[in-house]
């Protein structure tokens, strides 16, 4: 009897161990998803694997190095790749006839691209391991309903996925929800959303955010700015709040942050950064007077909400307590208050969303990298990247490294820490405007012509 009991206990122990290992494997796989712009929690950080430091992905090079695979992407888009399981997704806009014009290098003149011809707005799915094209879908076909700056594209936004639903929002060209095999579940037309300045549409760029059964979209057309929440399962509108007088324009993706009592939606904007209650759309807190072209997306680190912007003489960094309420605008004399952990009025980034990694906040601003202590706001360094460099994409970090993709055909890699330590400048052969994705030790870069896996 005792031997039978011992054997039974051994069998139960083995079964429990196998179940535990299986659960760990599932958890590890899930933890390597990159489900939307800037990855898990929109932080730009995903640990768990060793990541590459040096490579040569220039297709014109005699010997490429570190390239797992390369897949061509038709058309033009600054959409970042996203990952779920063994699939990688990206969207693009394919014009009829000649290739779409794209301006490289600095130049903020209000020059609109000539896009008055038919386009196809497409969603593409690839095998994450091999780069094999699995499926593609045309979400919409026709002439663009809004103009774009010649440095932007008609497909700036990244997709969002939750394991069952794949959401694409092209601004004026509509909202679409697919399953992961590319079957359309539903679509919605939210009208023309022309994010303009100086009478020129600069291109829609705010990606969708998903939380449980809710999608949130920022639609800050200066003529009719609004924030809207829709039910993920069927696209029905849950609430909509006008942002007239709150925001004249913005391009950042809304942050959805779940707290102990309240889940809030934080939207970068000008002249106000505002947080809303996800359930009702009610305003929770706000900050006045940032950069007048707010592009970076809010994100959470250290349990706090980080918001930056730049342009028009202002370049603030705000670090907000999630429990903040009311007007928490800081001043030069009082850069912190009950709702504000710390702030500074110089040092924010213009196009690129920064990353908090370890004890430090890193920001890419064209060829400059700035670093602050993430919990105190103490300045750490301001340095120039090796030339040429122009950081439009947002920064990502893992494995002790900071990755800075440049529109000048390369990716700069920095060693994380309080000292400025460039350790590699890796050729891509094509400009990088899109923020890379990370999954299972592989970096996925979307260039102007390709999707490239680096290992």
Do residues 153 and 98 lie in contact, with contact meaning Cβ atoms separated by under 8 Å? no
Q: What is the pLDDT of residue 75?
A: 97
Q: What is the pLDDT of residue 27?
A: 44
Give the mean model confidence (pLDDT) for residues 361-388: 96
What is the pLDDT confidence band of residue 29, given thresholds at 50, 70 and 90? Answer: low
Q: What digits encode the pLDDT tens for the residues 320-334?
A: 999 999 999 999 999
d(CA 285, CA 327): 6
Q: What is the pLDDT of residue 30?
A: 55
d(CA 436, CA 431): 12
d(CA 401, CA 436): 14
Extract the tokens encoding 16: 């429990």
Q: What is the pLDDT of residue 309?
A: 97
Phi, psi dihedral angles at 251 (to 5 degrees): -125, -5
Do residues 452 and 90 lie in contact, with contact meaning Cβ atoms separated by under 8 Å? no
d(CA 178, CA 59): 33
Highest mean pLDDT among 23-32, 103-112, 155-164: 155-164
d(CA 343, CA 287): 11
Give the mean model confidence (pLDDT) for residues 173-185: 98
The mean pLDDT value of the chain amounts to 93
Residue 6 has pLDDT above 90, yes or no: no
Provide CB contacts within 8 A for 64, sequence distance 6+.
55, 56, 57, 58
Give the mean model confidence (pLDDT) for residues 338-343: 97
Give the mean model confidence (pLDDT) for residues 352-373: 97
Give the CATH fold of the 29-454 domain: Methylamine Dehydrogenase; Chain H (2.130.10)
Output Rg (C-alpha) for the chain, integer angstroms.
22
| Domain residue ranges in the chain | 29-454
* Cα distances (angstroms) measured from residue 310 to each of 18, 36, 119, 275, 452: 52, 24, 32, 19, 30
Q: What is the pLDDT of residue 20?
A: 38
Residue 18 has pLDDT above 70, yes or no: no
Q: What is the pLDDT of residue 22?
A: 39
Helix H or strand E segment including 263: strand 263-267
Q: What is the pLDDT of residue 107?
A: 64
Do residues 245 and 265 lie in contact, with contact meaning Cβ atoms separated by under 8 Å? no
What is the pLDDT confidence band of residue 17, given thresholds at 50, 70 and 90? Answer: very low
What is the pLDDT confidence band of residue 387, given thresholds at 50, 70 and 90? Answer: confident
By percentage, how much of the chain surpasses pLDDT 70?
93
Phi, psi dihedral angles at 41 (to 5 degrees): 65, 10
Phi, psi dihedral angles at 418 (to 5 degrees): -80, 0
What is the pLDDT confidence band of residue 197, given thresholds at 50, 70 and 90? Answer: confident
CB atoms within 10 A of CB 91: 29
Helix H or strand E segment including 10: helix 2-31
Residue 343 has pLDDT above 60, yes or no: yes
| Lowest pLDDT segment from 1-5, 146-150, 155-159, 189-193 | 1-5
Extract the tokens encoding 444: 């996925």
Spatial CA neighbour of 399 closest among 51, 42, 53: 51
pTM score of the predicted model: 0.93
Residue 192 has pLDDT above 70, yes or no: yes
Q: What is the pLDDT of residue 7?
A: 57
By DSSP bridging, strand 326-327 and strand 283-288 are: parallel
d(CA 323, CA 111): 42
Provide CB contacts within 8 A for 310, sequence distance 6+.
291, 293, 348, 349, 350, 365
Beta bridge partner(s), residue 308: 317
């Amino acid at each position: 009897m005792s031997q039978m009991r011992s054997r039974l206990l051994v069998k139960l122990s083995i079964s429990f161990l196998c179940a535990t290992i299986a659960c760990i494997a599932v958890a590890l796989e899930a933890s390597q998803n990159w489900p939307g712009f800037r990855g898990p929690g929109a932080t730009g950080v995903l640990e768990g694997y060793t990541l590459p430091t040096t490579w040569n992905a220039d297709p014109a090079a005699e010997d490429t190095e570190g390239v797992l695979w390369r897949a061509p992407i038709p058309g033009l888009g600054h959409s970042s790749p996203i990952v779920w399981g063994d699939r990688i997704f990206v969207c693009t806009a394919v014009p009829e006839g000649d290739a779409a014009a794209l301006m490289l290098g600095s130049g903020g003149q209000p020059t609109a691209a000539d896009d008055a011809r038919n386009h196809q707005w497409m969603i593409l799915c690839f095998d994450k391991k091999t780069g094999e094209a699995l499926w593609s879908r045309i979400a919409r076909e026709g002439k663009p309903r809004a103009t774009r700056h010649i440095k932007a594209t008609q497909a700036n936004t990244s997709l969002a996925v939750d394991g069952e639903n794949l959401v694409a929002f092209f601004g004026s060209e509509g909202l679409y929800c697919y399953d992961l095999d590319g079957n359309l579940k539903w679509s919605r037309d939210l009208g023309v959303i022309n994010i303009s300045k100086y009478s020129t549409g600069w291109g829609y760029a705010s990606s969708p955010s998903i939380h449980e059964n809710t999608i949130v979209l920022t639609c800050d057309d200066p003529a009719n700015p609004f924030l809207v929440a829709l039910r993920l399962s069927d696209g029905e509108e849950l609430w909509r709040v006008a942002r007239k007088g709150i925001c004249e324009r913005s391009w950042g993706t809304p942050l959805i942050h779940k707290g102990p009592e309240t889940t809030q939606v934080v939207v970068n904007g000008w002249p106000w950064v505002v947080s809303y209650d996800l359930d009702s759309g009610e305003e929770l807190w706000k900050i006045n007077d940032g950069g007048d072209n707010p592009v970076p997306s809010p994100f959470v680190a250290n349990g706090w909400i980080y918001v930056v912007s730049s342009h028009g003489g202002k370049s603030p960094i705000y670090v907000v307590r999630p429990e903040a309420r009311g007007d928490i605008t800081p001043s030069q004399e009082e850069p912190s208050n009950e709702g504000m952990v710390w702030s500074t009025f110089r040092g924010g980034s213009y196009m690129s969303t920064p990353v908090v990694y370890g004890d430090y906040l890193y920001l890419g601003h064209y060829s400059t990298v700035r670093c602050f202590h993430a919990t105190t706001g103490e300045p750490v360094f301001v340095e120039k990247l090796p030339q040429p460099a122009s950081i439009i994409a947002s920064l990502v970090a893992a494995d002790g490294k900071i990755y800075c993709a440049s529109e000048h055909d390369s990716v700069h890699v920095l060693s994380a820490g309080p000292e400025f330590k460039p350790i590699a400048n890796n050729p891509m052969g094509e400009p990088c405007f899109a923020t890379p994705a990370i999954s299972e030790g592989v970096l996925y870069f979307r260039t102007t012509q390709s999707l490239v896996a680096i290992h």
